[in-house]
Amino acid sequence: MACEPFADLLHRFRQDRQHGASELARQALAWLGQSVAERAQVDDAVRQMLRDQISQLCALRPSMGVVAHLLQRWQYQLESFDPSANDVGALVAGANELSALSQQAVDGCVHHAHSLISPGYTLLTHSCSSTLMQLFSSLRETDCHIVICESRPLNEGVTVARQLNDWNIPCTLITDAQAGLYTAQADLVMVGADSLLGDGAVVNKVGTRLLALAAQRDHCPFYVVAESFKQRPPSADALILEQMDVAELNHDLPHEQMANTYFDITEADLISAWVDERGVHRQFSPVVW
């Protein structure tokens, strides 16, 4: 199957609010690998084009550190590519290997997060994380109850609730504003992440910080489950919290009177532990790449 046009990929990448950051990064790697595989050679002009495409993909979802992290690691391979050898297969293999490493890291996160959940627990979550969806799938037959914030404005939480119903996992869908009522009833809160900052703060779907504040007030453990690829390197550009179309709010007010900031930052002192492929960390443990 031919690689989809880059303009179509950009549009889909920008509009996708259903897939998690890691899954989007793997989709971008797959596209780059397929794009290279369809070329007879990778000369200097093609390399420059690929650099530009990577730059555009990273800039398109600036709140998702894992996108920049994985794509820039593939770009390192691109920069060391020897045009005279023209081993295009090595670049394709490099993209596939990074994608596989990302998935392996997610599998490790799920394994360690699972150890924090006992049968019969009530777990509260927010938004739709592909890593947490994999975790939830593993909780079938454990008699756990999952409470999901709907995650306005596009209500990704509804998709989570429907999937949980298909898996016969007891769940309750709540409005985001009800989260503070449920932290006192939950055994723990678990969220994914779009980026992890150098001090352990987490960038995630807006509403996460309010949930963390409520969890702290009610002494409910608040866990962030995210593979180490989501840690923003020190060399990363300044963090930008993405602004989406205010039309998504579905109100008839003038656009200049509305805001649709899609992510927020939850400070490290609101987080009980960070769960990644290496284990559960009660203090933030950055990876040196």
Residues 197, 265: Cα–Cα separation, whole Å: 9
Q: How far apart are the first and last CA of the chain?
A: 35
Nearest to 132 by CA among 163, 110, 150: 110
Quick check: 147 and 178 in contact, CB under 8 A?
Answer: no
Lookup: tokens for 35 = 């794009």
Identify whether the C-beta of residue 227 lies closer than 8 Å to the C-beta of residue 105: yes
Strand ranges for 192-253 from DSSP E: 195-196, 202-205, 222-225
Q: Which residues are catalytic?
A: 194
CA 105 → CA 37, 99, 102, 268, distances in Å?
26, 10, 5, 22
Sign (positive or negative) of CA dihedral 199, 214, 264, 30: positive
**Phi and psi (nearest 5°) for 219?**
55, 40
Q: Looking at residue 185, what DSSP letter applies?
A: T
Residue type, 54: I
CB 128 within 8 A of CB 194: no
